[in-house]
Chain A
Amino acid sequence: MKYLLDFKLSETRPTQAGDAMLVLEPLDKEKGAAALAEARPGQFVNIQVLQSHGTFLRRPISICDADAEQGLLFLYVKDAGAATHCLCNAREGDVFSILLPLGNGFSFDETYSDALLIAGGVGIAPMLLLAKKMNEAGLSPSMLIGAVNKDRLILTEELSSVGNLYISTDDGTSGEKGFVSQHSVLCRDWKHILCCGPLPMMKGIAAIAKERGIDCQVSLENVMACGLGACLCCVEDTADKGNVCVCKEGPVFNINRLKW
């Protein structure tokens, strides 16, 4: 079930330069709790940013965390343009219309004990809910996150509390020096990789997974309008079905469906 609900910004948690963790509360507590309870890791919301005057369409943002009991939605937003800038600088009490939860998230079950979660940049955001849900399934996930330098690493504390965190930075200021695709933890015998990050990073990881026969899921960030599978703007060309909507069949895809 998808919900169209108003959420009030209750808090903006400061992070590194410009980024923000938005903590949002549904105005309709009951429906909000239902929507949050349904949220699966890798799913996203489509948020209207009326405060940004030049922004016409809603913006897709991954669900970073969803706490149905407390009735809180967490979105991690990187200032990438007009709409995200307004989100990062929104005031407490500002109200946003949010359509959620959208798309299909990551798939895993209790057998995923040898799965590695790999993320980079703002792609780290959905990994928090993923790791938490894996915890609930009795798993302690291993996670590898990467950034340009130590100041650009995000959510390290939160992630460390829900699994084993490995880090790589391009300049070596934290963890191993280099890209995530060069990190030594990748050499272990993984059965599954669940990945979200910039396209070149995901393609690099997908190539490694393919070569070593590791099952691999990636989360795509195609430009979207409706988020509901109605406009067909967000398509990805798949091996099995041709053009499919990333917003509805994705954003998470198994790499064997992609023409990468």
Chain B
Amino acid sequence: MVDLSIDLGKGLRLANPVMTASGTFGYGLEFADVVDLNRLGAIIVKGTTLNPRQGNPYPRMAETPSGMLNAVGLQNKGVDYFISEIYPKIKDLESPLIVNVSGSQPEDYAEVCRRLSSLERVKAVEINISCPNVKQGGMAFGTTCSGAEKVTSAARESWDRHLIVKLSPNVTDITEIARAVEATGADSVSLVNTFLGMAIDVERRRPVLSTVTGGLSGPCIRPIAVRMVWQTAKSVKIPVIGLGGIMDGRDALEFLMAGASAVEIGTANFVNPSATEDVIDEISEYCNRHGIESLSELRI
């Protein structure tokens, strides 16, 4: 029997490498009827900001070939609401909880992390550096090394448990950003976030999304994500968490073989609400069939 457990360091131990991607699984509770939440490697909840955010106007979604564009715009009720209303409902789950943190300036990230520190069951934060930096004209922190470093070090100062930095793929060389956040104190990196994309309603001659552009996710991005994970895993020493278009166990294995220590399931949850559990079963079945005893053997 394969041992699917994995230790990502600094107290983040997973029973299996399958986590939920932020923004695609709510707070877990939304899927409680169709997924055994206690089986998941970890639950990464919705992007959380210091203050409540209404997000972008409707329409926020466009279906695309083998994927979708979204422009949700980090709608959430803020970190204090998470602490008082959501956390009590999910803290007794067996799976470790990870909060995805977003902000528009480094101080926001630091403050959200500080407030989350009181929550014992939050074993890690995942810092979303794809957010626009308001002070620098809205360019995403994650697209420059200096922006990524600023956010990482601000979060690091107020968070002493496991710190994941989630990288934006909208860059020329993702390994450069990965090395920068590693040097600034990240305990692991997760990649990829969504690719900037656009869709036009040809009949009405207008963009489909209210924001014109949005984030592309789903299997259409998978080969690019696998390539980026492969490159990044070779250039940093910290664990790499892979995601981008994983629909089933086979897809997850691709990332594990490319050098990822764990994976996240995102858009697949919309297509197959039990995708997370199915991926766990399929990885396990594959390993048993191939006589693999530990996940590290998978890496090519």
Contact = CB atoms under 8 A, between A and B. Distances in A.
A25 interface: no
B59 to A, nearest CB: 6
B55 interface: yes
B72 A56 contact: no
Nearest to B219: A56
Given A2-B34, A99-B273, 13 more contacts: A4-B273, A56-B67, A56-B68, A57-B68, A57-B271, A227-B270, A228-B273, A230-B25, A230-B270, A232-B55, A234-B61, A235-B60, A243-B55
B52 to A, nearest CB: 9
Interface string B11-51: 00000000000011110001101100000000000000000
A107 B272 CA distance: 30
Contacts of A99: 34, 273
| Most A C-beta atoms less than 10 A away, residue of B25, B64, B270 | B270
12 contacts: A2-B33, A56-B67, A57-B63, A224-B61, A225-B270, A226-B270, A228-B273, A229-B26, A231-B270, A234-B58, A235-B55, A237-B58
Contacts of A56: 63-68, 218, 271
Summarize A's interface: helix, strand, loop or mixed.
Answer: loop
B75 A231 contact: no
A228 B31 contact: yes
Contacts, number: 86
A230 B269 contact: yes
Nearest to B218: A56
A58 B270 contact: yes
A58 B272 CA distance: 9
B57 interface: yes
- Interface range, A side: 20 to 34
B274 interface: yes
Closest 8 A-B residue pairs measured CB to CB? A233-B61, A230-B26, A2-B33, A230-B30, A226-B270, A225-B270, A4-B34, A228-B30
| Most A C-beta atoms less than 10 A away, residue of B33, B61, B218 | B61
B193 interface: no
Interface in A28-73: 48, 54-58
A97 interface: yes
Interface of B: 23-26, 30-31, 33-34, 54-55, 57-61, 63-68, 70, 72, 75, 218, 269-274
A174 interface: no
A21 to B, nearest CB: 25
B68 A225 contact: yes
A1 interface: yes
B105 to A, nearest CB: 23
B58 A231 contact: no
B30 A229 contact: yes
Contact of B60 (A54, A232, A242, A248): A232
B214 to A, nearest CB: 10
| Most B C-beta atoms less than 10 A away, residue of A2, A222, A226, A227 | A226
Contact of A231 (B34, B54, B61): B61
B149 to A, nearest CB: 30
Contacts of B61: 223-225, 231, 233-234
A66 to B, nearest CB: 17
B72 to A, nearest CB: 5
A3 B66 CA distance: 25
Contacts of B66: 56
A117 B190 CA distance: 51
A19 interface: no
Contacts of B58: 222, 234-237, 243
A205 B270 CA distance: 33
Contacts of B25: 230
| Most A C-beta atoms less than 10 A away, residue of B33, B58, B64, B65 | B58
Interface string A221-260: 0111111111111111100001100001000000000000
Contacts of B68: 56-57, 225
Nearest to A4: B34
Contacts of A231: 23-24, 61, 70, 72, 270
Contacts of A232: 23, 55, 60, 72, 75
Contacts of A54: 65
A242 B24 CA distance: 21
A222 B274 CA distance: 24
Contacts of B63: 55-57
Contacts of A228: 26, 30-31, 273
